[in-house]
């Protein structure tokens, strides 16, 4: 069950997280609660898988270089290989797809040489080839959503 504080944090700070040395205190002051309450609420949201991380989303290739990578991994080895790939700090957005190429992730590096080196390490350590799909055209999809803050009221049938 989400408290009103949880909902407010999810609604108000999906996209406008304070950029300051004390963001959690700033949020607490805005919402009229303590910094400890904000931190506890974010921790609870993370533990309950409502949020996976708090951090910036930077447009592709604005800092360094990135590419989408796909790998075809036998189903029996998928979890093991995904765990290995996840150990690289350059990897994010690692996910499984129902396709011959079933392991997909975004790789971000400081430059093309670093990117190539990490790809080579992943292939060497996993024993599987990668398919690189560099960004050709950028599309932005806003994944923000609004939660209802008011309790739902039921309308009796036939009264509408």
Structural domains in the chain (count): 2
* Cα(11)–Cα(85) distance, integer angstroms: 33
Inside any domain, residue 155? no
* Cα(71)–Cα(128) distance, integer angstroms: 7
Q: Averaged over 58-66, what is the pLDDT?
A: 70
What pLDDT score does 159 carry?
43
CATH of the domain at 116: 3.30.70.3460
Inside any domain, residue 58? no
Over residues 63-77, the pLDDT tens digits come to 778 899 999 999 999
* Cα(30)–Cα(38) distance, integer angstroms: 11
Let me know whether 69 and 128 are in one domain. yes
The fraction of the chain above a pLDDT of 70, given in percent, is: 81
What pLDDT score does 62 carry?
63
State which residues form the domain around 34. 4-47
What pLDDT score does 13 carry?
85
Question: What residues contact 131, with CB distance under 8 A and at least 6 apart?
Answer: 69, 70, 71, 101
Contact 70, 101 (CB under 8 A): yes
Over residues 142-156, the pLDDT tens digits come to 556 666 655 544 444
Let me know whether 40 and 80 are in one domain. no
Over residues 10-56, the pLDDT tens digits come to 888 887 889 999 999 999 999 999 999 999 999 999 999 888 778 76
Burial (CB count within 10 angstroms: exposed 0-12, middle 13-18, buried 19+), residue 115 = buried
What pLDDT score does 65 carry?
87
Question: What is the chain's mean pLDDT, rounded?
Answer: 85
Q: Residue 59: pLDDT above 90?
A: no
């Amino acid at each position: 069950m989400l408290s009103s504080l949880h909902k407010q944090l999810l609604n108000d700070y999906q996209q406008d997280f304070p950029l300051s040395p004390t963001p959690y205190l700033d949020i607490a002051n805005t919402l009229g609660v303590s910094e400890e309450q904000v931190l506890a609420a974010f921790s609870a949201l993370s533990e309950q898988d409502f949020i996976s991380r708090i951090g910036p989303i930077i447009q592709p290739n604005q800092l360094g270089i990135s590419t989408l990578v796909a790998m075809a991994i036998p189903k029996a080895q998928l979890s093991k290989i995904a765990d290995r790939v996840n150990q690289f700090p350059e990897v994010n957005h690692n996910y499984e797809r129902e396709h011959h190429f079933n392991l997909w992730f975004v790789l971000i590096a400081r430059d093309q040489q670093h990117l190539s080196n990490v790809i080579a390490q992943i292939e060497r350590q996993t024993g599987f080839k990668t398919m690189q799909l560099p960004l050709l055209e950028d599309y932005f999809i806003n994944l923000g959503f609004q939660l209802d803050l008011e309790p739902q009221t039921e309308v009796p049938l036939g009264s509408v």
